[in-house]
């Protein structure tokens, strides 16, 4: 057990915090101790299921049933033990004194209520302010977080904003009340590097202005090393290591922390594998993709150009990474290659034959040799089908395979992707996120395709699971020789798997080259901004962690 030293100046002091399932069930948090002073930042890090989010929610009294804190637990905030306060007293503190930014703003923001109403709710509950004062305070905060049209934003609904904008609005709503403590639970998960940095920089600015302490929940050690001074590493409910974040990152003492650090993105010194003489498998020439405007009442919005005159070639056996911020058009281009989106103009060729818009039987057969791994395996796997049926589905198109051969192939594929046979009869909701992603990969490679599009395959996974999935993709590619278009905003993942990198901005390719060339000698300002925003750790030479941001500057 790690015990924090007594700190009389601590605004938040957690002692012997234990959370169990019921009064005598399994403990999901076990004797956690830490202190947080006013104006400081502390991070709880660990994999999914480590107990970090439950520890944070217990501070606000928001544990889901049947989870309860044990009698010996104490959470002292400004001299009061939050675990022993009456519910109405805790409600007065929640929001006014302690604010929380949740992991998924689309879930925590009410989709049926305007942004203005949701921002005003906390002020109405905790501050004696008129409607006009609340409106003025909300407008000022939206201007502070650099919303272009604050008045229009107040009248809009959450679905009208991007993920990054929703997270900024959620942060603004919480900080309106100027809480003394902010709990941020994975505030940048699945956001692209530019938006991630923007949200975190904004959080730091707002909290420093108000002297707010921050308890950050994250599985991303790279991000923590850039923003947080002190860190507590959690595993299976226990704190296994805590201290200065740079010391933990440079010289971890516990085996689990070492495993987390080892999972940080890194590349070998041998360079990329791409061979310029390889056969061209996919060729994209001057592709344009337009989305028509949407009709709202009597007005049709302007059409949007998602892809604007892109030229690309992908060679047999190589991995071409397509990177860029959200909305840059990279996913749209990947979907167009496999026939899920029809280009407005231009050509997409596979093995020398144009396939975009071709509905012939031959083109249909060729598309069977092209597969895609979607970003969210939970929504792309049929929840009504068992895993065995999901993986076997592509094999039904092979007339040379009977049911016995399909069953044998599914078993072989399962072994190749590192899944155990007992999972075959389960449903998707009974698997972890990493297991579901392995199932999605198994389905994609079932027919031994020549080309695979991997669309953000590790965007929301823990670092250790992310490393396992990336190594799996690489090993399968070496075994079967398929080419891969790796679509990602995660430059750490790209650095691990890519042979070449194409950088996409506003529907155009602004830079392309070998991985080492693009990462170490970026030419385009947008590429440099992506690398500057990426919170990567350069660990190629085992001489300590080096900030990628510092290296680029």
Task: Answer yes or no: are the C-beta atoms of 348 and 384 closer than 8 Å.
Answer: no
Phi then psi dihedrals of residue 415, to 5 deg: -65, -40
Q: Which fold has domain 10-97+179-262?
A: Rossmann fold (3.40.50)
Indicate the domain borders of the chain. Answer: 10-97+179-262, 110-174, 280-308+315-369+447-488
Give the closest residue to 394 by CA, choosing from 415, 409, 384.
Answer: 409
Predicted pLDDT at 376: 77
Does residue 538 sit in helix, strand or coil?
strand
| Omega before residue 285 within 30° of 0, cis | no
Q: Which CATH number fits domain 280-308+315-369+447-488: 3.30.1550.10, 3.30.560.10, 3.40.50.2000, 3.40.50.300?
A: 3.40.50.300
Predicted pLDDT at 79: 84
Predicted pLDDT at 399: 76
Which tens digit of pLDDT belongs to each residue from 171-184?
Answer: 999 999 999 999 99
At which residue do the structure tokens 């516990």 appear? 254
Strand pairing report for 27-37 and 10-21: antiparallel
| Rg of the chain (C-alpha set) | 25
Tell me whether domains 10-97+179-262 and 280-308+315-369+447-488 share a fold: yes
Identify the H or E element spanning 528. helix 525-533
Predicted pLDDT at 268: 54
Question: In whole angstroms, what is the distance from residue 528 CA to residue 549 CA?
Answer: 10
At which residue do the structure tokens 């004797």 appear? 31
pTM: 0.82
Q: Which pair of structure tokens corresponds to residue 173?
A: 């709503």
Predicted pLDDT at 458: 86
Tell me what percent of the chain is helix, strand and coil, each rounded to the nearest 5. Answer: 40, 25, 35
Residues of the chain with pLDDT under 70: 1-8, 105-106, 190, 267-277, 293-301, 536-553
Predicted pLDDT at 547: 39
Q: Which pair of structure tokens corresponds to residue 300?
A: 């049709």
Predicted pLDDT at 543: 37
**CA quadruple 425, 427, 433, 438: dihedral positive or negative?**
positive
Question: In whole angstroms, what is the distance from residue 454 CA to residue 348 CA?
Answer: 18
Task: Answer yes or no: are the C-beta atoms of 61 and 82 closer than 8 Å.
Answer: yes
Task: Answer yes or no: are the C-beta atoms of 485 and 454 closer than 8 Å.
Answer: yes
- State the DSSP code for 147: -
């Amino acid at each position: 057990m790690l015990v924090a030293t007594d700190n009389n100046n601590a605004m938040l002091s957690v002692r012997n915090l234990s959370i169990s399932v019921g009064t005598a069930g399994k403990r999901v948090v076990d004797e956690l101790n830490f202190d947080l002073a006013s104006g400081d930042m502390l991070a709880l890090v660990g994999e999914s299921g480590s107990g970090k989010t439950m520890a944070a929610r217990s501070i606000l009294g928001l544990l889901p049933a049947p989870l309860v804190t044990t009698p010996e637990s104490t959470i002292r905030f400004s001299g009061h033990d939050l675990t022993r306060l009456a519910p109405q007293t805790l409600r007065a503190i929640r929001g006014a004194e302690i604010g929380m930014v949740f992991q998924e703003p689309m879930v925590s923001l009410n989709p049926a209520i305007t942004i203005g109403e949701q921002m005003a709710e906390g002020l109405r509950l905790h501050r004696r302010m008129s409607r006009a004062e609340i409106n003025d305070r909300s407008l000022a905060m939206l201007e502070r977080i650099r919303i272009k049209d604050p008045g229009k934003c107040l009248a809009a609904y959450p679905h009208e904003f991007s993920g990054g904008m929703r997270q900024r609005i959620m942060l603004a709503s919480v900080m309106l009340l100027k809480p003394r403590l902010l709990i941020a639970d994975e505030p940048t998960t699945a956001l692209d590097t530019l938006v991630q940095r923007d949200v975190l920089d904004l959080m730091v600015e707002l909290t420093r202005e108000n002297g707010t302490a921050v308890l950050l929940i994250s599985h991303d050690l790279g991000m923590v090393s850039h923003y947080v001074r002190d860190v507590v590493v959690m595993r299976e409910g226990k704190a296994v290591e805590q201290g200065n974040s740079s010391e933990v990152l440079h010289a971890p003492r516990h085996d689990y922390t070492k495993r987390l650090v080892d999972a940080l993105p890194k590349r070998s010194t041998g360079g990329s594998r791409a061979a310029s003489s390889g056969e061209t498998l996919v060729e994209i020439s001057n592709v344009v993709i337009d989305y028509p405007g949407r009709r709202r009442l009597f007005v049709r919005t302007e059409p949007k150009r998602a892809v604007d005159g892109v030229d690309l070639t992908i060679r047999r056996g190589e991995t071409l990474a397509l990177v860029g911020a959200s909305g840059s058009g990279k996913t749209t281009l990947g979907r167009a290659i496999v026939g899920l989106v029809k280009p407005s103009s231009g050509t997409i060729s596979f093995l020398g034959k144009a396939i975009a818009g071709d509905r012939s039987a031959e083109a249909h057969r060729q598309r069977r040799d092209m597969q895609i791994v979607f970003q969210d395996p939970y929504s792309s796997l049929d929840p009504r089908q068992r895993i065995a049926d999901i993986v076997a589905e592509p094999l039904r198109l092979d007339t040379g395979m009977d049911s016995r051969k399909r069953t044998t192939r599914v078993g072989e594929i399962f072994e190749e992707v590192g899944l155990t046979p007992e999972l075959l009869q389960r449903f998707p909701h009974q698997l972890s996120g990493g297991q579901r992603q392995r199932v999605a990969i198994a389905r994609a490679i079932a027919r031994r395709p020549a080309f695979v599009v991997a669309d953000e395959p590790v965007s929301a996974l823990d670092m250790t699971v992310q490393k396992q999935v990336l190594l799996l993709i690489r090993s399968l590619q070496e075994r079967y020789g398929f080419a891969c278009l790796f679509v990602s905003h995660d430059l750490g993942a790209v650095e691990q798997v890519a042979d070449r990198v194409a950088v996409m901005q506003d529907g155009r390719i602004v830079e392309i080259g070998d991985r080492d060339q693009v990462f170490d000698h970026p030419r385009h300002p947008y590429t440099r901004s992506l690398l500057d925003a990426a919170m990567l750790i350069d660990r190629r030479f085992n001489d300590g962690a080096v900030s990628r941001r510092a290296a680029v500057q």
